[in-house]
Structure 1
Amino acid sequence: MLYQLAKHRILETERLVLRPITLEDAEDLFEYASDLENTIHTFPTHQSIEETNWVIANLFMAAPLGNFAIELKENGKMIGTCDLRINEGEKSAELAYAINKKYWGNGYAPEAAKKLLDLAFKDLKIERLWAKFSAANPASGRVMEKIGMTKEGVIRHSKNLRGDFVDQVVYSRIE
């Protein structure tokens, strides 16, 4: 499964290129990772460009397989990230994504997520794709619905976001 993932390091859709994340993406990533509105439901807000560089080097570059920058074909702007977190033993994968709020509402998240869903089922031969989101962020659930995922349920008080425990909604798709 990881071999297949390694073979598909760059993916393309009609409007997007999904590619490895590099230190050259730091400014674009910091642009949205430093904005609380963008990160409130997902991950700690970045406080400096140095922190963003650390995250890129230690998270995305240290284990690059399955981690993709979302880049606009039209201008090369990195507008987000999407990930497939593979569990080979279970033949499953977790899908995750984050998009710069300046690009919300344009269908980029479902476009990128659908490409990873196709990769997961067609090339990686997984049995189950799943994703979760903060219940306070229903827009993320709409992305999941658009790519054919089904709501499984709610895991109560399962994520600590800035000292508040939030419920997470789980969606999945099997093929």
Structure 2
Amino acid sequence: MDITLELMKHSTLEGDRIFLRPVGLADAPDMFEYASDEETTRFVFETHRDRAMTEEAIANYFLAAPAGKYAIVVQDTKKMIGTIDIRPNATDRIAEIGYTLNKAYRGNGYMTEAGKLITALAFEVLKLEKVFAMHDMLNPASGEVMKRIGMHPEGVLRRHKVFKGRSCDMAYYGILKDEYFQQA
């Protein structure tokens, strides 16, 4: 199976209240709204200083290699409120997911819904064996999202990465194919 081809065939995914679609330059205003917020970006990427930085991020990350990278859009308003991506390793039949959400939309279950759409894609379409994610130990709210999409804590990777000048301990969560289908 060509995973990149399958991701491109599934470049849009629809949930009950949100849909996932490719990120485009037209998303720059909505993305800048949260990417310029220090609280939102604290654990995930450099805070955007201006809209040009957001446009560069969209061009160089989302548009340069769009497979598996999605805007999270509220169906009712069509507002882009965050992003989620899946980074598969075809050899090992696993994938890592990562996500960011505008803080104004936290606590509404949108990220959980997006995560469930991505895990369904991973197991039902891509036929992967495991999906995993990591979060900075100082950001336990991200771990709560991981638990709600069915992941289990597997351990802590001590001083696993340096981000914004700080050596970070990362909590590692995962869900196996069998666990996903038992929950479904």
TM-score of the superposed pair, with normalisation by structure 1: 0.98
Between the aligned partners of 2:95 and 2:55, the Cα distance in structure 1 is 26
How much has 1:53 moved relative to structure 2? Answer: 0.3
Q: Work out the CA distance in 1 between the residues paired with 2:62 and 2:5.
A: 18
Aligned runs of 1:16-31 on 2, under 5 Å? 16-31=18-33
Query: In structure 2, what is the Cα distance between the partners aligned to 1:2 and 1:54?
Result: 23
CA deviations over 1:2-41 (Å, ceiling 9, x no partner): 2211110110000001000000000100100010000111
Displacement of 1:162 in angstroms is 1.4
**Match of residue 92 from structure 1:** 94
Structure 1 residue runs of 5 or longer lacking an equivalent are none
- Calculate percent identity across the aligned residue pairs: 46
What is the match of residue 74 of structure 1?
76
Instruction: From 38, 61, 70, give the equivalent of 2:63.
Output: 61
Cα shift at 1:159: 2.1
Equivalent residue number for residue 37 of structure 1: 39
Q: Distance in 2 between matches of 1:36 and 1:159?
A: 19
What corresponds to 2:51 in structure 1? 49
**Residue 91 of structure 1 aligns to which amino acid in structure 2?**
R
Runs of 4+ in 1 over 4 A off after TM superposition: none
Q: Secondary structure at the match of 2:91?
A: helix
Aligned to 2:123: 121
Distance 1:167 1:28 in 2: 30
Q: What is aligned with 2:12?
A: 10
Instruction: Work out whether 1:152 is the aligned partner of 2:154.
Output: yes
Greater displacement, 15-24 / 157-166: 157-166
**Structure 2 unaligned spans of 5+:** 178-184
Separation in structure 2 between the aligned mates of residue 54 and residue 129 of structure 1, nearest angstrom:
29
The residue matched to 1:109 in structure 2 has which SS?
helix
The residue aligned with 1:172 is 174
Q: Deviations over 1:59-89 (max 9, x none)?
A: 1000000000000000110000000001111
